[in-house]
Amino acid sequence: MTADLIHRYAEGAKVEIKTLHGEGRATLSVAEKAQVTFRRLSVIGGGDDGHHFEIGEGALARGMAMAMRGKIPRSIRIGDNFSCGSMIINAYDADIEIGDDVLISSNVSIRTHDMHMILDAETGAVLNPAKPVIIEDHVWIGESVKIMPGVRIGRDSVIGIGTVVTRDVPPGCVFAGVPGKVRREGVTWRK
């Protein structure tokens, strides 16, 4: 059995799915003139309603490897004028929200879950639960950046090449390094 996909593609939208995996349900909503290439799309669970992926007008997303997983329906929402070279995006048991005018370079990863659990050895409590990721409007994410669960990236910020984002990023800053730190403040950027 393969995933059950409901397609809602607006006029002029183009979607290519090279490999589809999983047994689950999802709706793909693609706005006018958006172009999306999924090199891999994995859909697991989602219940009767299914997970939800949406991408806004004029988006150009190449090389997306995307997984949506969880019993409860999860959503990945991406705004207008999105641009992406290649990324792996994993929404496991939590949602991902990306604003308008966001630029993502190549080899970027965004995840809501560590995939395996770390437990308190005495109580068995899960120490690394899934957490949502939010990227606000007009953020530039450089090459090979890793965005970890629970992070919010503020508008107009720039994330430097190779950064691991483990904490919230304030708006209007350059944030870089492993782990990432604020390197400049009071900035914006343009293409």
Ligand X SMILES: CC(C)(COP(=O)(O)OP(=O)(O)OC[C@H]1O[C@@H](n2cnc3c(N)ncnc32)[C@H](O)[C@@H]1OP(=O)(O)O)[C@@H](O)C(=O)NCCC(=O)NCCS
Contacts with ligand X by CB under 6 A lie at: 105, 142-143, 158, 160-163, 174, 176-177, 183-184
Q: In the complex, what is the shortest distance from the CB of residue 178 to ligand X, in angstroms, rounded to a whole number? A: 7
- Residue 174's CB: how many other CB atoms inside 10 A? 21
The residue whose Cβ lies closest to ligand X is: 142
CA distances from 130 to 50, 98, 126, 127 (A): 19, 17, 10, 10
Q: In the complex, what is the shortest distance from the CB of residue 183 to ligand X, in angstroms, rounded to a whole number? A: 3
- 37/128 with CB nearer ligand X: 37
- 4/143 with CB nearer ligand X: 143
Q: In the complex, what is the shortest distance from the CB of residue 103 to ligand X, in angstroms, rounded to a whole number? A: 6
Is there a catalytic annotation at residue 113? yes
Which residues, in sequence order, are CB contacts of 169 under 8 Å at separation 6+?
151, 152, 153, 154, 157, 159, 175, 180, 182
CA–CA separation, 121 and 137 (whole Å): 40
CA–CA separation, 149 and 41 (whole Å): 20
The answer to whether 62 touches 84, Cβ cutoff 8 Å, is yes
- 66/84 with CB nearer ligand X: 84
The answer to whether 41 touches 19, Cβ cutoff 8 Å, is yes
- 23/185 with CB nearer ligand X: 185
Catalytic residue among 7, 113, 116, 138: 113
Q: In the complex, what is the shortest distance from the CB of residue 59 to ligand X, in angstroms, rounded to a whole number? A: 16
Question: Which residues are known catalytic residues?
Answer: 113
